[in-house]
């Protein structure tokens, strides 16, 4: 039996596929908004899906002999509103039978796969060095004012994360500027830039969230959007956030003079 990968957009799916291939476990890749050509060298078989179809995905996985599944990459959540009429019957059933918050929606997809004998496994196990460690991560030490805003953002997220509508918040001068919703982290940052033109970004994971899927993730685009928006500090939850392309990421953070900080949920922020 083998591993299948449902691949959304971004660089994460290609890195996962490359790692699986290096472990001599190239498997089935179901591309949904992913760069199929970047994935092709690392896939045993690749299928490009133009629209989400959970029923087809399960059929393809069972036909291929895949009994394990990794889900990774960006699939815009707005699809649940834009394309419901062309979803397959199983996808429509999942959408009708669950709340549309991220955790419930992904949990229902996982359950549908597991009901068919396909277990969903965490991708961070094969990318352990991508997990953010605690403390100062980039060259620049955050300013006291930035750490104060990070602490306030952390307290805000502890309240709103159980609501499951986003994983991030932007704070400037002790005020919440923007909260992440369906537009995603980059959209939130761009919106904050248009309001305050300065501040910090804090990203954390919902307490008790299943770490097999939907880990908070930051990467090159996060820093570029922050730079464009005038935001100067990024705080992520240590051990529960993926930093994509870490070498390039920290080079760019230093270039833009963005302070990156790894926080522990249970600890008060200290410099």
Confidence of residue 267 (pLDDT cuts 50, 70, 90): very low
The neighbouring-strand residues paired with 217 are 242
- Structure letter (DSSP) for residue 197: S
Confidence of residue 238 (pLDDT cuts 50, 70, 90): very high
* pLDDT score for 126: 87
E-strand ranges in 151-246 read: 168-172, 175-179, 200-203, 217-218, 233-237, 242-243
Mean pLDDT of 241-268: 89
pLDDT in tens, 163-182: 878 899 999 999 999 999 88
Q: What percent of the chain has pLDDT over 70?
A: 86
CA dist., res. 201 & res. 207, Å (int): 19
Indicate the SS3 state at residue 212: coil
CA dist., res. 119 & res. 126, Å (int): 16
pLDDT in tens, 198-227: 999 999 998 878 788 778 999 999 999 999
DSSP codes, the chain? -EEEEEE-BSSHHHHHHHHHHHTT---EEEESSS-HHHHGGG-SEEEE-SS--HHHHHHHHHHHTEEEEEEESB--TTHHHHSGGGS-HHHHHHHHTS-SSHHHHHHHHHHHHHHTT-EE--SGGG-GGGBPPSEE-SSSPPPHHHHHHHHHHHHHHHHHGGG-S-SEEEEETTEEEEE--TTHHHHHHHHHHHHTS--EEEE---TT--TTS---EE-HHHHHHHHHHT--EEEEETTS-EESSHHHHHHHHHHHT-EEEEE-TTS----
Q: Is residue 268 predicted with pLDDT exceeding 50?
A: no
CA dist., res. 38 & res. 236, Å (int): 28
SS (H, E, C) 77-116: CCHHHHCHHHCCHHHHHHHHCCCCCHHHHHHHHHHHHHHC
pLDDT in tens, 8-44: 888 899 999 999 888 877 689 999 888 888 888 999 8
Fold of the CATH domain 2-126:
Rossmann fold (3.40.50)
Q: Determine the distance from the C-alpha atom of residue 38 to the mean position of all C-alpha atoms in its chain, rounded to a whole number.
A: 19
Mean pLDDT of the residues in the chain: 87
Asked if 225 and 189 count as a contact pair (C-beta separation under 8 A), the reply is yes
Mean pLDDT of 237-259: 96
* pLDDT score for 53: 82
Fold of the CATH domain 128-263:
Cytidine Deaminase; domain 2 (3.40.140)
Q: Which one has a higher pLDDT value, 266 or 104?
A: 104
* pLDDT score for 67: 92
Residues 6+ apart with CB under 8 A from 245: 11, 15, 219, 220
Tokens of 37: 């050509």
Q: Nearest to residue 141, comparing CAs of 268, 261, 2, 16?
A: 261
* pLDDT score for 96: 67
Confidence of residue 250 (pLDDT cuts 50, 70, 90): very high
* pLDDT score for 124: 87
Q: Is residue 64 predicted with pLDDT exceeding 60?
A: yes
* pLDDT score for 102: 60
Q: Which one has a higher pLDDT value, 228 or 27?
A: 228
Q: Is residue 139 predicted with pLDDT exceeding 50?
A: yes
Q: Is residue 259 predicted with pLDDT exceeding 60?
A: yes
Kindly list the domain boundaries of the chain, sorted by start residue. 2-126, 128-263
């Amino acid at each position: 039996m083998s591993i299948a990968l449902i691949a959304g957009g971004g660089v994460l799916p290609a890195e996962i596929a490359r790692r699986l291939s290096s472990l001599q476990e190239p498997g089935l890749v179901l591309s949904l908004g992913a760069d199929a050509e970047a994935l092709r060298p690392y896939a045993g078989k690749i299928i490009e899906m133009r629209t989400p179809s959970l029923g087809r995905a399960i059929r393809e996985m069972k036909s291929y002999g895949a009994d394990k599944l990794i889900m990774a990459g960006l699939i815009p959540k707005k699809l649940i509103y834009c394309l419901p009429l062309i979803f397959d019957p199983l996808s429509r059933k999942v959408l009708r039978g669950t709340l549309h918050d991220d955790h419930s929606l992904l949990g229902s997809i996982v359950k549908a796969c597991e009901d068919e004998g396909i277990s969903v496994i965490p991708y961070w196990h094969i990318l352990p060095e991508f997990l953010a460690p605690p403390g100062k991560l980039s060259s620049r030490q955050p300013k006291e004012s930035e750490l104060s805003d990070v602490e306030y953002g952390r307290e805000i997220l502890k309240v709103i994360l159980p609501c499951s509508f986003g994983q991030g918040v932007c704070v400037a001068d002790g005020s919440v500027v923007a909260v992440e919703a369906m537009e995603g982290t980059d959209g939130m940052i761009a919106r904050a830039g248009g309001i305050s033109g300065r501040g910090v970004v804090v990203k954390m994971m919902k307490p008790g969230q299943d770490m097999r899927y939907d880990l908070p993730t930051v990467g090159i685009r996060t820093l570029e959007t922050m730079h464009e928006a005038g935001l100067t500090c990024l705080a992520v939850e240590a051990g529960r956030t993926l930093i994509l392309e870490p070498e390039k990421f920290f080079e760019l953070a230093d270039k833009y003079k963005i302070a990156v900080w790894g926080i522990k949920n249970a600890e008060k922020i200290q410099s």
